[in-house]
Structure 1
């Protein structure tokens, strides 16, 4: 063991965990009395020196962030020290006297709703702080939540964010969402894990039973079906938990703050139920419209007629199934309601939502249309049909529906946002910006609207305004990696390369597997002549995803820039194995072959690029140069003329002039010498 090597001060009391890639010890400090700590010893699966260098930087960066976090928040386990030795990494952590949450979540002994809400709120408040520093816990489970003995507060321990890149652990699957299993961890991956804990607490489930619960997911949707007849759970709390554990992270709560806001609304369950019963009585007596929450929109007023108890019960069962992600079961119930009452607009609307969740957009559109026919004043039905039309690529029809929804409910920020997205698809930039701006005016804390408006503004060269939008998102949520990334792209266009580097780095610190951020940071380093740093970023991408073609192409461009033509050819060849129709790879590999004097191979690559896309101006231009070297003057003139025509059509003025100049040289019997090479472009990622 090498654990005593830190000034010889730590003595092992006992081994807490002994795994191949990570060992955990309880130790005492020989220099301090009554001081105990947790030490983790991490071993990388790779012995490659370059890989270990990259891991060392990641390890130090993340450990430093955690150390700062523990100093500033007393419900986060303190990181005392971290160091490397003999290709192994060590972290020394605070030992928390107390009991893990596993002692409170006991098999067959469900916690009360108030206890669960309190537990959720306390951990969520810690997550808000954690995520604001760009840290994702990644390992939330009852054993890693300690009820501190001294003040009975909950403390979050055992952060795997430091060890993940080194050991690549794949455990804790019963609390882990699918995107994390696939290596695409998000902030709301922590929210998912906490939602599973809430389910275990409400139902009184052990760890093994949670694993069984994961096997009881809806076959088509992947949603967990957890509510049972033996335990009654407040529908509002159940709705919050359902949204915490959605299979698709995009449909889940995005931030811990959102969950906290909804939990605060469940202050008094009994009062809520009394109010609901009172409202139901009013609806039956007066026949006025009923409003219920659905998805990201709101149900507006719709006329109801008296229904019998059996039909109402069946409808409610469908709603309950929908809420837990059992969309097929919900459709079956709504089918029966519609059969007995063909004019039930709400049943059509709800069934349409279920079809939408299952990806059947045609049927979702049909049901929304029927709901509109039965109740033309149903703004939500227009809103839902607008989303279905958008998914079907019918953006004009979607815009018409969003517009009608806005006429019926002018305060619906989501309808403006949806219409803005559809207008963007139709290149109605002015209208789209107007819609995003209106959505923001109605809902000032609307990150998605700021993001889309910022991206659109950048495309319209309104870069200062775009940066303002991304700045606003970061103020709302300092842990929004996409905002940093998009701001970095904008800074890069403004030639603010160092500012762009910082933004890409912040995005990566928040999301260590943000491939696009690594790619663009690598390009920025390459432009600045930072050879090693650029190579590290491209290599890191390929560690995350060995089939990411753009990383091979960008690394090849980088290698070409400092004369490593053989290395560039190797990368382009790998890219072409992954995609045999990649024009950029053929064109650029041709340039590399040309630099090595292999005119035949270069000519073949340019010709392949042209065969794939007959409008590839650069390939014609470069083949023209090769043909001159092969003394094929007429063929060269033909290629340059074709290139000039295409450059002119594409608005490439400089390249057009280059081609015209080469034609003039040839017609005057001179020899052209210039080769145009495809440059490293910065690709926008929405």
Structure 2
């Protein structure tokens, strides 16, 4: 039909479906004669290069997830490959000879109850697998469920997760629940959609009746009113279907396993006679085989239920984890493990939950167990790497990240973890390389840009750092931390107005961003804007009245404007909160010295030195006051100590100041004009 070969190999045979965002073709792979495949073409909403770069990475990540699902479950459409051509994205999937479920339902003829239960159970079994792997189908409807000719099994096709990568527009499917329409799909959004399919099937509706069905709602609760339309539906089945399509997702079934369990009980009740026959047979078998055989058979019959319950508990744990109820999540994962001790996924998830709770030892133990059960689980190594990182075992963390990358070299998060670990190991070049690799794989990875930018700033690569922070803001204009970090970099470049603008943006996004207020206040103070600086420091103290650093910053500000009494009050408050704050003693000493109280100043410098024996500023300042008090020998000793510390710490200007004071003393030149070094060097 079309002479053009997609990706140089796929010949279009016919158009299967056309939409605003996607078009679907039946194609032949020219390298495999007589082969038939399905190709879905996705059109991005924009050809902007940055947008395409982000979409390219997201598309590849989602495609890999679907590829894995199809490989591991026979009733999920297999994804063969994916590619990009002329700034459009394509996925190639297996063609499944069979009939869509629309030919079994939506035909104006109701299904019998046992038929519906069987249909629902088979689809729910597939959804259990999908949800356990962290995927939401997002487009459950009869057209996306195929009855395969070869074995008469149902196959789930056309996952909406890929299409939603390309467009943020939610489809107009009559099967979508309210939360998905508003862009926040849950796992049980799939259950809702399947519930609508089931109600349509049991009522014998036609396709154009679905919208009418959803419009028949209780005005107060928004629940669909349907089960009064027929007397053919049992009360228990109606109750199950109603719970599947509850308007509020919190009141709906949370897991596919829950629906399966209720359907199983309903089916059992409908087959009481068959159950009684099985019990009689069981009694005969038990009498003949004896207690040992009885135990074996009991285990055999119960074990599937145990595994099913373990899976249900696991999903409940995931649900609690996702809403931040970590302690409850731990309890569910623990119960799941007790029922199924070989559940590597439950160990992995429980370990992640312990990590969130700050119990890194237990998190590390669970990750190790998950690795023992499944040595090929790259994510378990990644999780354990973070545990080792938090425990300060950086070499062990590095080894785990290396193994994770060996197992999955295209996972950006693994490179990020190794990058932050390399920073701790002083391997800055390696860290930048890892962050760059993570960004290459995932171009919208804001955390990687941010960490690379912070590291570049520390390495004095200021423009490169700004470029990284610009990238974060371009991807997410509401990232307060990116504005703050760019502000720090601009301040280091003496671009003070730009820094103030960035701090202001950070504050507008996060009105309680203490560090942004403090740094903006410092720049205002340096610019002589006394009122603006004071307002920023006061705002910080309003947010946190017990923040020692805020009193020190405001004290330095007051000192710079000659308000020595006010500065001393701030330092007193800081010391009341933290009696071991050496900077507060040093800075108070400066204020006392300006007020002419040399004795109090000397005592404060000595106290700062007692707390921090490597405090070069305190030695220097005590040298100044000792020189003023004519204590030449002590002053020389202090300047010598200060000079040595400044030299070791790379403080070149301060080192020159100390050497100058030594020369003055050694040449017996009067020192009355010497001043203590500004305490601004002592900010937190």
With normalisation by structure 2, the TM-score equals 0.60
User: Does 2:478 correspond to 1:559?
Assistant: no
The verdict on how the C-alpha distance between 1:540 and 1:234 changes in structure 2, with shifts beyond 3 A counting, is farther
The partner residue of 2:681 within 671, 674, 678 is 674
User: Does 2:588 correspond to 1:663?
Assistant: yes
3-state SS of paired residue (1:150): coil
Partner of 1:69: 69
TM-aligned CA deviation for residue 588 of structure 1: 4.9
The verdict on how the C-alpha distance between 1:32 and 1:528 changes in structure 2, with shifts beyond 3 A counting, is same
Partner of 2:661: none
TM-aligned CA deviation for residue 49 of structure 1: 2.8
The verdict on how the C-alpha distance between 1:451 and 1:37 changes in structure 2, with shifts beyond 3 A counting, is closer
3-state SS of paired residue (1:268): helix
TM-aligned CA deviation for residue 57 of structure 1: 1.2
Partner of 1:329: none
Q: Is the CA contact (8 Å cut-off) linking 1:666 and 1:672 kept in structure 2?
A: no
Gaps of 5+ in 2: 276-312, 374-379, 405-410, 417-443, 457-463, 595-675
Structure 1 residues 282-681: aligned runs within 5 Å: 462-465=359-362, 493-494=390-391, 542=476, 551-560=478-487, 562-563=489-490, 569-570=500-501, 572-577=503-508, 583=514, 585-590=516-521, 602-610=533-541, 614-646=545-577, 656-669=581-594, 670=676, 671-674=678-681, 676=683
Partner of 1:10: 10
The verdict on how the C-alpha distance between 1:248 and 1:38 changes in structure 2, with shifts beyond 3 A counting, is same
Partner of 1:261: 261
- CA offsets, 1:458-517, max 9 Å, x none? 6885432356679999999xxxxxx999999867644578779989959x9xxxxxxxx9
Output the CA distance in 2 between the equivalents of 1:198 and 1:524: 49
Q: Is the CA contact (8 Å cut-off) linking 2:330 and 2:354 kept in structure 1?
A: no
User: Does 2:63 correspond to 1:56?
Assistant: no
- CA offsets, 1:244-276, max 9 Å, x none? 22333333333323322332222234357999x
Q: Is the CA contact (8 Å cut-off) linking 1:586 and 1:609 kept in structure 2?
A: yes
TM-aligned CA deviation for residue 97 of structure 1: 2.0
- CA offsets, 1:352-388, max 9 Å, x none? xxxxxxxxxxxxxxxxxxxxxxxxxxxxxxxxxxxxx
The verdict on how the C-alpha distance between 1:539 and 1:60 changes in structure 2, with shifts beyond 3 A counting, is farther
Output the CA distance in 1 between the equivalents of 2:382 and 2:143: 35
User: Does 2:51 correspond to 1:124?
Assistant: no
Q: How many equivalent pairs are there?
A: 502
The verdict on how the C-alpha distance between 1:438 and 1:19 changes in structure 2, with shifts beyond 3 A counting, is closer
Structure 1 residues 190-269: aligned runs within 5 Å: 190-269=190-269
The verdict on how the C-alpha distance between 1:186 and 1:4 changes in structure 2, with shifts beyond 3 A counting, is farther
Looking at both structures, which has the greater relative contact order when contacts are Cα pairs under 8 Å and sequence separation is at least 6?
1
3-state SS of paired residue (1:231): coil
Q: Is the CA contact (8 Å cut-off) linking 2:583 and 2:682 kept in structure 1?
A: no
Output the CA distance in 2 between the equivalents of 1:610 and 1:21: 52
Cα RMSD over matched residues? Answer: 5.1
Say which one has the larger Rg: 2
Output the CA distance in 2 between the equivalents of 1:593 and 1:250: 49
3-state SS of paired residue (1:162): helix
Per mean C-alpha deviation after superposition, the further-off stretch among 235-244 and 158-167 is 235-244
Output the CA distance in 2 between the equivalents of 1:244 and 1:473: 33
Gaps of 5+ in 1: 276-412, 477-482, 509-516, 678-686
The verdict on how the C-alpha distance between 1:468 and 1:577 changes in structure 2, with shifts beyond 3 A counting, is same
Output the CA distance in 1 between the equivalents of 2:468 and 2:186: 25
3-state SS of paired residue (1:174): coil
User: Does 2:179 correspond to 1:179?
Assistant: yes
Partner of 2:188: 188
The verdict on how the C-alpha distance between 1:452 and 1:90 changes in structure 2, with shifts beyond 3 A counting, is closer
TM-aligned CA deviation for residue 156 of structure 1: 1.0
The verdict on how the C-alpha distance between 1:459 and 1:49 changes in structure 2, with shifts beyond 3 A counting, is closer
- CA offsets, 1:80-134, max 9 Å, x none? 2211233321112222222111111134311112111111121122222222333
Q: Is the CA contact (8 Å cut-off) linking 1:43 and 1:89 kept in structure 2?
A: yes
Per mean C-alpha deviation after superposition, the further-off stretch among 466-475 and 608-617 is 466-475
